[in-house]
Amino acid sequence: MSKYGKGVAITLLGGACWGLSGTCGQYLCSAQGMDTRWVTCLRLLGAGIILLLAACIQDREQLKQIAHQPRTLLHCVIFGVCGLMFTQFSYLTSITKSNSGTATVLQYLSTILVLLFVCITTRKLPVKREWLAILSCLLGTFLVTTHGSFTTLYISREGLLWGFISAVAAALYIILPQDLMKQWGSTMIVGLGMLSGGIAFFFLMRVWTVPISFHMATAVMTAFIVLIGTAVAFTAFLKGTSIVGPARGNMLGCVEPLVATLTTAVFMHTSFSWIDLVGFAFILATVFILAKDETKAPS
């Protein structure tokens, strides 16, 4: 398999893990009554600690080096707060101001923002396949998350504002760590970002004031979200994105709503209609369009 092909596979793995974590999060919040603030805080802090421990085992000397570079540490904190934490916070706020379908559609505007950033920095316009992939990505995500109902877009100004902010934050967590990961690797950078984002979220949201109760089901599901849905998901996605590029990596991440919807239907017994299948087709088409394009003529 070519380097680009591996990048595509790793990026898809990250998106799939995100999709699984979304289903687990729905189970915790809807079936078990767990507060979303705790879910967000635990996934960031837990995954951050795990990844930093892994980085320490793999290359302790490198971790010592980065600890003595204030500018790099500051960049990691900015990535964690403005990217990782802000994405979670703004997305949840967007949902409360509108609804989850509209919030998800608005967040996927990050695809356009990332592509615009890449076009500006490289001084290149998107090629035809990229335009086709963008349209397929946005249309497929819209169909899956809203079932084609245009009425869900009639939201308050606050909902629209926070939806756009979540798109900006999603674009930031893809763009910000690119140079850092090329120099230091994804494990250490994502770990530092998650830990700083989790600490900031804990204090900003006053999470300690939110009541919480644990039992076996919630503990197992929370552990799965932290390990697979966060640590593995973010690391794989950002690692793959560093290979295929931020614009294409973001679009390949559209596999997330596909996996989330399918696993929700299977494990949460949620039914889906024919329009869901049409959305799946558009999202899958995005993956094949991008993979075929880059495998033949990488840019």
Q: What is the pLDDT of residue 199?
A: 94
Q: What is the pLDDT of residue 146?
A: 72
CA distance 217 to 232: 21
**215: region left, alpha or beta (phi > 0 left; psi from -120 to 50 alpha):** beta
SS3 251: helix
Q: What is the pTM of this model?
A: 0.72
* 229-274 per-position pLDDT tens digit: 877 887 788 788 778 877 677 677 777 777 777 777 777 666 667 7
Q: What is the pLDDT of residue 100?
A: 56
Q: What is the pLDDT of residue 134?
A: 79
**180: region left, alpha or beta (phi > 0 left; psi from -120 to 50 alpha):** alpha
**CA angle (225, 40, 26) in 5-degree steps:** 60
For helices 100-107 and 86-97, give the axis angle rounded to 10 degrees. Answer: 140
Q: What is the pLDDT of residue 202?
A: 93
Give the gyration radius of the chain's Cα atoms. Answer: 18
CA distance 230 to 228: 6
In a 13 Å sphere around the CA of 159, the CA atoms on its Cβ side amount to 16
Which amino acid would we find at residue 98?
S
CB environment 230-255: b (16+ within 10 A), e (fewer): bbbbbbbbbbbbbbbbbbbbbbbbbb
CA distance 8 to 250: 11
Q: What is the pLDDT of residue 203?
A: 92
For the chain, which ranges sit under pLDDT 70?
26, 30, 92, 95-96, 98-105, 145, 150-157, 247, 250, 268-272, 280, 284, 286-288, 290-299
Q: What is the pLDDT of residue 156?
A: 66
Query: What are 118's two structure tokens?
Result: 């890449």
